[in-house]
Amino acid sequence: MAATTKKQKNPANGSMDIKVYDVDGQLLRVGVKHGSPEHPPLMMFNGIGANLELAEPFMAELNDTGGIIFDVPGVGGSPAPAFPYRPSTLARLAKRLAEMLGHDRIDVSGVSWGGGLAQQFAYQYPGFCRKLVLAATAPGITMVPGAPNVLAKMASPRRYTDPGYMRSIAAEIYGGEFRKDPTLINRHAAAMKGATQVGYMLQLFAMTGWTSLPWLWLLRQPTLIMAGTDDPLVPVINARLLNKMIPNSRLELIDDGHMFLVTKPKLCAEMIEGFLREGE
């Protein structure tokens, strides 16, 4: 049941409807970008601490593909849960949300932290997830990590609560175009709504000890793996590992950093939408 409604104009393509849904007792703030009913919608799982508005430029560039994205509990406009959760818990909530929105099959994408959740969803609900898109992500605790000084800056939600701090570290932690264009950092910082300390810690805890490596070979969904060649957080070797382990997958390298979906939304939307349309 939708509790509140807000329609937010999407600058490039129609609008994104933002509502709060009660999903099995957990309130989720959800953004829906409407697309053609002929195609399954693309449900997107965001990075750690990221509110749904940060994905809006990418969603706006999708042509006829609908999009679904929600703030993880404790982030953005979704209140913190009563208890800690695991990826399997969020995967169940995401499936229930999709069903509430009238879908019996969806495509799934995940960015960075959300890429782990996307892998879990595809494994947990193989009949519900048609295709899988993994961007700037890894197989969990078994990943090849980035530089320690970069990872240390990711341990705190300060970059989401302090725009000035974000501007000072964005080039170092995200790489790619953020190293070259300060205006990208300003736009990104302006779109941040902030994660609570509790919400951020819950996201870190959720992935503690989690890995997809033992069952990646069981995934049968056609999978597009995308990685930036200058990613300080998730080195490209992780994408190569995913590509090797997931049977029906292919790897696309992008000349950018960790945030290529933000810095190159049109290119990424065209690449992903082309992949989703294959075989139709």
Q: Going along 99-222, which residue ranges are E strands?
A: 106-111, 129-135
What whole-number distance in Å separates Cα of residue 60 and Cα of residue 55? 9
Six token digits for residue 112: 């960075």
Half-sphere exposure of 251 (CA within 13 A, CB side): 19
Q: Are 99 and 122 in contact (CB under 8 A)?
A: no
Six token digits for residue 256: 């950018």
At residue 68, the 3 state secondary structure works out as: strand
Verify whether residue 112 is a known catalytic residue.
yes
Contacts of 66 (CB under 8 A, 6+ apart): 32, 33, 34, 35, 36, 39, 41, 42
Q: Going along 183-271, which residue ranges are E strands?
A: 223-228, 249-254
Containing 199, the helix (H) or strand (E) segment is helix 197-206
Q: Which amino acid is at 275?
A: F
Residue 88: name the closest of 127, 121, 49, 116 by CA: 121
What whole-number distance in Å separates Cα of residue 224 and Cα of residue 134? 6
Of 78, 109, 112, 249, the active-site residue reads 112
Residues identified as active-site: 112
